[in-house]
């Protein structure tokens, strides 16, 4: 079984655009292809896990989320790398209409997306990492006892500067971006 890097999407892989609504808004953050290549080279599976409550809220549909992920994968492939899978939660516990207005087990910080990915892809959670830019990413990692790197490239900087980031525990770090996270992970996996 392989270990994985579970990656948040917005603010970690691509520029943050609140409720992304056009494929033309998708832009990879600096250093993302290099970071993913480094992590692949260390033998990690790369899995994107993202909350997409815009589906529940009626801002876009599931097909748009799937198209967005195809676009991200194409941009990555053009740069010589790819992620292994995309998983997303279209739900919201209080907004929208059924079947998407539901208190599910897949909305971060709950671990449903990671557990599903691990089961479907044959991944080992022990020793895996979560890399993201917001508190739900951190809490999801904590819920499963995974290593965590908070990137400042999205909401992470606001959390840190605003004093909203809870005290870090052992196995948790704050770094500038995904490339810095990849170097941290590579260093830790070599040591």
Residue 190 pLDDT > 80: no
Q: Can you tell me the mean pLDDT for 169-183? A: 98
Q: Can you tell me the mean pLDDT for 162-187? A: 96
Residue 164 pLDDT > 70: yes
Q: Which class is domain 2-190?
A: alpha beta
Q: Can you tell me the mean pLDDT for 164-184? A: 97
Q: Can you tell me the mean pLDDT for 146-167? A: 94
H helix or E strand, kind and range, residue 7 = strand 2-7
The domain locations on the chain are: 2-190
Q: Can you tell me the mean pLDDT for 139-158? A: 96
Place of tokens 């809870």: 166
pLDDT of the residue at 126: 95
Instruction: Report how far apart, in Å, the C-alpha atoms of 191 and of each of 2, 83, 110, 185 are.
Output: 18, 25, 30, 10
Which residues are marked as active site? 8, 10
Confidence of residue 191 (pLDDT cuts 50, 70, 90): low
Surface-to-core class of residue 51, CB atoms within 10 Å of its CB (0-12 exposed, 13-18 middle, 19+ buried): buried
CA–CA dist 152, 170 (Å, integer): 19
Q: What is the pTM for the complete model shown?
A: 0.97
Q: What is the pLDDT of residues 78-106, one digit of tens each?
A: 999 999 999 999 999 999 988 999 999 99
pLDDT of the residue at 19: 85
Q: What is the pLDDT of residues 29-61, one digit of tens each?
A: 999 999 999 999 999 999 999 999 999 999 999
What percentage of the chain reaches a pLDDT higher than 70? 99
Query: For residue 91, which of 75, 108, 115 has the smallest C-alpha distance?
Result: 108
């Amino acid at each position: 079984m392989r270990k994985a890097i579970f990656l948040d999407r917005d603010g970690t892989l691509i520029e943050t655009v609140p409720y992304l609504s056009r494929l033309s808004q998708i832009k990879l953050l600096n250093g993302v292809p290099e970071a993913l290549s480094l992590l692949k080279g260390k033998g990690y599976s790369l899995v994107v896990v993202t909350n997409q409550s815009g589906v529940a809220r009626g801002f876009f549909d599931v097909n748009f989320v799937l198209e967005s992920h195809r676009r991200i994968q194409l941009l990555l492939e053009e740069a010589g790398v790819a992620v292994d899978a995309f998983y997303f939660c279209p739900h919201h516990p209080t907004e929208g209409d059924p079947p998407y207005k539901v208190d599910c087990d897949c909305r971060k910080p709950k671990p449903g997306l990671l557990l599903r990915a691990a089961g479907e892809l044959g991944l080992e959670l022990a020793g895996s990492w979560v890399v993201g830019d917001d508190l739900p990413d951190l809490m999801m990692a904590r819920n499963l006892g995974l290593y965590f790197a908070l990137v400042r490239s999205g909401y992470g900087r606001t959390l840190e500067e605003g004093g909203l980031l809870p005290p870090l525990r052992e196995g948790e770090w704050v770094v500038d971006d995904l490339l810095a996270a990849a170097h941290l992970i590579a260093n830790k996996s070599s040591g």
